[in-house]
Structure 1
Amino acid sequence: MNIVLVGYRGTGKTAVAELLAGLFGLRAVHLDDEIERKAAKTIPEIVRDAGWPAFRDLEEAVVARFSGQDGLVIDCGGGVVEREANFEALRAAGPVIWLQASVDTIVKRIRDDVRRPPLTESKSFTDEVAEVLARRTPLYQRLSHFAIDTDSLSVAQVVNTIQRLLIATWDSLNSD
């Protein structure tokens, strides 16, 4: 079994994945890093050279590869919900946990992140986050088994919450 983390950039997925992996004796896999490795380019370079659809194609291939493995904490990029094909693969891989945060929290956490190109054109950064988050929220809701608001929680508190959720629901998760 795997544990799958989804959510917008800046919600804590990468840090939580590392701690969860250590706690459960699993391996953390960061899909954005795997996409960059597969393409031998950074995400901004992929998008600049080939566009968002090409990036999503790479992402879909990487999701398929890792969701078929076992013993992982899969840290998904924020836009993994943009492709329907990823839903079935990720839900079959293990419990999907949506890490949430408010627009203000996300903006504070990722304002200086240069790893990702803009997702919309001619919007302020805050407006872009609000617009994209509004579009993706119903997709995250549909994909996830659980949701955790990370606004006021430390990484350790998020990990403890996930641990409690998984222990409390272990039997039902394994019967899906």
Structure 2
Amino acid sequence: MNVVLVGYRGTGKSAVGQWLADRLGLRVVSLDAELQRLAGKSIPEIVQEVGWPGFRDLEEQVVATFAAQDGQVIDCGGGVIEREANFERLRAAGPVVWLKASTATIVRRIQGDTQRPSLTGAKSFTDEVEEVLQRRTPLYRRIAHYEVDTDGRTIQDIADEIVQRVRCGEKPSELD
């Protein structure tokens, strides 16, 4: 069994992923960490060197590798849903959980993080988050079997909800 976590930067995927892996007896795999290991560079360095399209190409390779394995909580980068091949592989790998948060929460959580390069260029940070969320929300909604709001909640509470939904047979949504 795998559980796949998707969502915008700062929605809690990494923190919840570790807690969830411990609760379910699975290992946690951070696709961003695996991508950096493969490239031998940080995400900002990769993006600076090959741009976002090149980064997405590497990400697609990493998704293909780990989506084919079992027994994991897969912590995905925020933009993993922008490639159709990733979409199909992740949906097939296991239940996909979309971790959501408000723009204000996301901005508060990640504003000072220098390891997250700009996605849009010169826009203000809040404008960037709003713009990218507007573009990605339909994609997150489409890939997700489950949606979980992380605003104002503890990591344990979020992980407990995911465990309950995955283990207790709540029917996941189907693709349209």
* TM-score computed with the length of structure 2 as normaliser: 0.95
1:59 is displaced (CA, Å) by 0.4
Query: C-alpha distance in 2, partners of 1:172/1:140?
Result: 14
Query: C-alpha distance in 1, partners of 2:58/2:76?
Result: 13
Give 2:158's aligned residue: 158
Query: C-alpha distance in 1, partners of 2:170/2:146?
Result: 13
Alignment of 1:6-155 (within 5 A): 6-155=6-155
Q: Could you tell me which amino acid in structure 2 is paired with residue 96 of structure 1?
A: V
Query: C-alpha distance in 2, partners of 1:148/1:172?
Result: 13
Report the secondary structure of 1:169's partner residue: coil
Stretches of 4+ aligned residues off by more than 6 angstroms: 170-173
Unaligned runs of 5+ in 2: none
What's the C-alpha RMSD, in Å, of the aligned pairs? 1.3
1:170 is displaced (CA, Å) by 6.5
1:73-122 Cα offsets, whole Å, 9 max, x none, are 00000000111110110001000000000000000000011111100022
Q: How many residues align?
A: 173
Report the secondary structure of 2:46's partner residue: helix
Matched, 1:2 2:2: yes
Query: C-alpha distance in 1, partners of 2:142/2:98?
Result: 10
The percentage of aligned residue pairs carrying the same residue is 61
* TM-score computed with the length of structure 1 as normaliser: 0.95
Unaligned runs of 5+ in 1: none
Q: Could you tell me which amino acid in structure 2 is paired with residue 100 of structure 1?
A: K
